């Protein structure tokens, strides 16, 4: 018996929704049916579908290997071949994918960690650096305004060349 892309074992459900691996986009329009979908979106959807097929194939392989029944042992080799075919389906798309994945994200995936943690820490670090830069900018602007006011007060002849710095509030 050949494993199907959305096969379910009696003990637990498949990690992807039934039918997700066989999902195809016939017409390239958005959900509202009004605007054409960009090629990148079609490629992304196809890659997602093929990735779900790999996940389902791996799940089926794990279920057959864990079953331990003589009939399922014969199907393990078949399941391995199915996984290889699904991985080859993704490899075919290699020339159509132009996304850059940061090395840190790949390292996290290789280590078995969630790449969302990389995104979360990056966003937190950028927000912190942004706040620091904003504080520096506001400090320099406040100093410039106070310096302009003090220069305009003590050297009235310089007031035309000081511009808005002399008139701005701290």
Do 95 and 11 fall into the same domain?
yes
State how far the Cα of 9 lies from the Cα of 65, in Å rounded to an integer. Answer: 12
Q: What is the pLDDT of residue 17?
A: 47
Higher local confidence (pLDDT), 7 or 49: 49
pLDDT at 23 over 50: no
pLDDT above 90 as % of the chain: 26
Last residue of a domain, one of 80, 99, 118: 99
Q: Are 70 and 146 in a shared domain?
A: no
Last residue of a domain, one of 84, 99, 114: 99
83 and 117 share one domain: no
Last residue of a domain, one of 75, 99, 123: 99
pLDDT at 142: 96
Say if residue 88 is in the same domain as residue 22.
yes
Q: Does residue 27 surpass a pLDDT of 60? A: no
- The reported pLDDT for the residue numbered 87 is 92
Band of pLDDT at residue 146, cut at 50, 70 and 90: very high
Query: Does one domain contain both 142 and 155?
Result: yes
Q: Which residue has the tokens 């199915």?
A: 82
According to the model, what pLDDT value does residue 67 have? Answer: 77
Same domain for 126 and 169, yes or no, is: yes
Task: Report how far residue 97's alpha carbon sits from residue 100's, in angstroms, rounded to the nearest whole number.
Answer: 9
The reply to whether 16 and 40 lie within a common domain is yes
Are 79 and 116 part of one and the same domain?
A: no
Length of the chain: 170
Per-residue pLDDT, 137: 97
pLDDT digit string, tens, across residues 84-133: 999 998 888 888 877 788 888 888 888 888 888 888 888 999 999 999 99
Residues 64 and 146 in one domain: no
Domain count, the chain: 2
User: Domain residues for 29?
Assistant: 1-99
Per-residue three-class SS string for the chain: CCCCCCCCCCCCCCCCCCCCCCCCCCCCECCCCCCECCHHHHHHHHHHHHHHHHHHHHHHHHHHHHHCCHHHHHHHHHHHHHHHHHHHHHHHHHHHCCCCCCHHHHHHHHCCCCCHHHHHHHHHHHHHHHHHHHHHHHHHHHHHHHHHHHHHHHCHHHHHHHHHHHCCCC
Identify the CA nearest to 61 among candidates 70, 72, 50. Answer: 72
The reply to whether 39 and 118 lie within a common domain is no
Q: What is the spatial distance between Cα 72 and Cα 60, in angstroms, rounded to a whole number?
A: 11
Q: What is the mean pLDDT of residues 47-62?
A: 91
**47-63 average pLDDT score:** 91
Which residue do the tokens 């986009």 mark?
Answer: 25
For residue 73, the tally of other CB atoms under 10 A from its CB is 12
Q: How confident is the model at residue 30, as a pLDDT?
A: 58
- Residue 45 pLDDT > 60: yes
- For the segment 133-153, the average pLDDT, to the nearest whole number, is 94
Mean pLDDT across the chain: 77
Give Dmax over CA atoms of the chain in angstroms: 99
* Interatomic CA distance for residues 115 and 118, integer angstroms: 5
């Amino acid at each position: 018996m050949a494993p199907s892309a959305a096969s379910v074992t009696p003990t637990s459900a498949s990690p992807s929704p039934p039918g997700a691996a066989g999902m195809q986009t016939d017409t390239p329009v958005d959900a509202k049916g009004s605007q054409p979908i960009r090629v990148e979106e079609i490629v992304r959807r196809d890659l997602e579908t093929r990735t779900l097929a790999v996940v389902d194939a791996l799940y089926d392989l794990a279920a057959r290997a864990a079953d331990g029944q003589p009939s399922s042992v014969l199907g393990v080799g078949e399941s391995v071949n199915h996984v290889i075919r699904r991985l080859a389906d993704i490899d075919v798309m290699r020339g159509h994918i132009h996304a850059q994945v940061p090395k840190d994200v790949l390292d996290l995936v290789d280590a078995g960690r969630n790449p969302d943690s990389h995104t979360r820490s990056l966003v937190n670090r950028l927000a912190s650096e942004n706040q620091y830069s904003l504080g520096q900018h506001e400090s320099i602007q406040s100093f410039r305004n106070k310096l302009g006011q003090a220069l305009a007060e003590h050297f009235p002849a310089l007031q035309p060349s000081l511009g808005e710095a002399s008139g701005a509030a701290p």
